[in-house]
Amino acid sequence: MRSLGQRIELLGVLAHPVRIRILEELTRGVKCVSDFEDFLEISQPNISQHLGLLRNHGVIDFYMDGRLRCYFLVDPIIPDLLEILKTDYHKSLPAPSCCPVTKKGSYPGKRRR
């Protein structure tokens, strides 16, 4: 199982708009760097940096095709994670109802803003 540290690390890796877009694109198939240049509005070196970061963390890998690097997903959690992030939950979790629930308290009391 992923350790706590590994879970945090993964979250940190995902927590960037460019990297999420790269990963969402890769769930649809292999892409080379210049494919990303077409729809990410950032510089080529910056794209490479993000791809390198994802690769260093074992999230993606690549094949060579001539001078193209064809990146693809490796970590199997990614599609599931991306899907769950897009899921629509329309109700909040139910407010806790039974007491006492904290160590010292006699909850519930009044809700405050």
Partner DNA sequence: ATTATATATTCAAATATTATTATATTTTTA
Partner DNA sequence: TAAAAATATAATAATATTTGAATATATAAT
32-to-18, 47, 101 alpha-carbon distances in Å:
15, 11, 53
- Three-state secondary structure along 51-64? HHHHHHCCCEEEEE
Taking alpha carbons only, the member of 73, 58, 89 closest to residue 24 is 73
- Is residue 40 within the footprint of a copy of itself (CB under 8 A)? no
Please report, as residue ranges, which positions from 11 to 50 form the binding site for DNA (by CB under 7 A).
12, 15-16, 18, 32-34, 37, 42-50
- Is residue 73 within the footprint of a copy of itself (CB under 8 A)? yes
- Choose the one of DNA, a copy of itself, none that binds residue 77, judging by a C-beta under 5 to 8 angstroms depending on kind: a copy of itself
8/49 with CB nearer a copy of itself? 8
Residues in the chain: 113
Residues near DNA, by CB under 7 A: 12, 15-16, 18, 32-34, 37, 42-53, 62, 64, 66-69, 104, 112
